[in-house]
Amino acid sequence: MVDSLLARLGEQAGDIAVQCIDTGGMVGRLNRQISAEAERLGDLAEAIESLNLGQTESRAATAELLQTAEVAWGVLERGNAVAVRSLSEVSRLIADITGLDGQLQNFLDTLGTISGITSTLKDLAEQTELLSFNARLEAARGGEATAPFEVLATEIRHLAMTTRKSAAEVGGNAARIEETAGALIGALKTHIAEGRETTRHIDTLGSTLTELAALVHQFHDRSQAIAGCNERAEIEVAKVDAGLIEFRQVAAQSARRADQAREQLDALECHANDMLNQVAHDGVETRNKPFIDLALQGAREVTELIDKSLSGRELAFSALFDKDYLPRPDTDPIQYDNGFADFADRKIRPILDRYTNGNKAVVGCCLVDMNGYLPTHITERSQGQIPGQRRRNLEFSRNRQIFMDAQTRRALDSEGEFFLFAYRQDLGEGRFRALRSVFVPLVFGGRKWGLYELGYLI
């Protein structure tokens, strides 16, 4: 009856340990999530702090921008008024210049009239000379009676000569005046045409200044709107910052409580495992007994094989205890080679496969040295790695990796024929599986090498 009670206590202790493992795993995941969120909150808080600094700089820049806009608006307003007055004066000047066009045309017409008078004087001089010539002829035919006509003819000839000379002088002066006036008028007409074009440019410039003033006014209004938005955003950012600080404190407190709960579960798990292990060592028949016997049998077979290989010099003692783990290139997670791994793959892996495949409840068998290094594993868990698939490699390429957990460390550091523990098997990336495992110490040449492990689910 006592044995039955101990057996039930042992089973319950094992169940408690497994439940502690499951709960501890959940609490651990929750703790990691809370910690991760706390870190993200820290990053977010830093981002908010940077945003606050940026907001302060933006507020200062906006204030400067608004001040600049106000100054620019005042300057432009004054400049626009001066420009409008100046453009008005220029427009009037150009209007005066373009108004000379008609006066210049009248001047040209007057010069034409002068040229006509010169022509008339020339005609008069010719007629006068003809009259003088006729008077001389009459005087010559009449003798002394017509002598006064000779004097008159002479005076008329002098008048004709004077008239011709005056006409020539007037014509020459008029020609020079007309030539000079023509050149001057041509230049003035060019400037007048340019003035008309300038008037159009001035109109465009006036419109541009008006549009520019409107844009600066709009810029001033938008600057005021931005300043208002910055003030409101600063208030909202301050609210978010305060909320983040409070939430970060709550998250940190929750993480501490979750960590405390995990520690308490780990302690309860250790106590349950101690009960499970103690009942197993008391020789009480439980569901764990067949797996303990199977693990002891497998460990003996591995020990005999290695002892025989050491005696036959097929395996060197230095290679068996080689701790110079050499990382394999391009492996993720990192796998390591040492002097024992190739021998273990060839000679020991078949034994591990046989004991694993012989019982459906057995999850796997492996060897673990004092540093948590697995030189080999069952074939299913010793597949070649696939680049870029770390999660898959963690689970199916477990050979030549290094794993260490609290229960494995306890078994490695303790003395005894075997150890029965329920523990979390690390599958990588925060994934665990609750197993019961029998750890059997492996000793060669009086020196502890590590453990033979048989994991199972019941």
**pLDDT by residue (tens digit) across 301-334?**
999 999 999 999 999 999 999 999 999 999 999 9
pLDDT at residue 245 in the model: 75
Helix (H, G, I), strand (E, B) or coil at 333: coil
Measured between alpha carbons, how far is 40 from 128 in angstroms, rounded to an integer? 123
Return the bridge partners of 369, or none.
450
Q: Is the pLDDT of residue 163 over 60?
A: yes
Burial class of 159 by CB neighbour count within 10 A (0 to 12, 13 to 18, 19+): middle
Give residue for tokens 């003395």. Answer: 415
**pLDDT by residue (tens digit) across 185-228?**
676 667 666 666 666 666 776 677 677 767 767 766 776 777 67
Helix (H, G, I), strand (E, B) or coil at 358: coil
Q: Are 336 and 327 in contact (CB under 8 A)?
A: yes
Helix (H, G, I), strand (E, B) or coil at 286: coil
Measured between alpha carbons, how far is 72 from 52 in angstroms, rounded to an integer? 29
Q: Is the pLDDT of residue 13 over 50?
A: yes
pLDDT at residue 78 in the model: 75
Residue 300's CB is within 10 A of a number of other CB atoms, namely 12
CA atoms within 13 A on the CB side of 260: 6
Measured between alpha carbons, how far is 146 from 85 in angstroms, rounded to an integer? 82
Measured between alpha carbons, how far is 397 from 376 in angstroms, rounded to an integer? 10
Tokens representing 287 are 């569901």
Confidence of residue 441 (pLDDT cuts 50, 70, 90): very high
Measured between alpha carbons, how far is 153 from 141 in angstroms, rounded to an integer? 14
Q: Is the pLDDT of residue 448 over 60?
A: yes
Measured between alpha carbons, how far is 29 from 178 in angstroms, rounded to an integer? 109
Cα 457 from chain centroid (whole Å):
50
**pLDDT by residue (tens digit) across 116-139?**
666 666 676 677 777 666 766 766
Q: Which residue has the higher pLDDT, 51 or 280?
A: 280
Domains of the chain: 52-241 (1.10.287.950), 287-456 (3.30.450.20)
**pLDDT by residue (tens digit) across 81-113?**
766 676 676 667 666 666 656 666 666 666 666
At 386, which helix (H) or strand (E)? none
Q: Are 436 and 359 in contact (CB under 8 A)?
A: no
What is the overall mean pLDDT for the chain?
A: 77
Measured between alpha carbons, how far is 446 from 362 in angstroms, rounded to an integer? 30
pLDDT at residue 302 in the model: 98
Helix (H, G, I), strand (E, B) or coil at 436: strand
Tokens representing 222 are 């938008």
Helix (H, G, I), strand (E, B) or coil at 1: coil
CB proximity list for 199: less than 8 A, separation 6 or greater: 91, 94, 95, 98
Q: Are 365 and 438 in contact (CB under 8 A)?
A: no
**pLDDT by residue (tens digit) across 363-376?**
999 999 999 999 99
Confidence of residue 344 (pLDDT cuts 50, 70, 90): very high
Return the bridge partners of 426, or none.
432
Q: Which of 350, 318, 383, 437 is nearest to 21 (CA)?
A: 437
Report pTM.
0.51
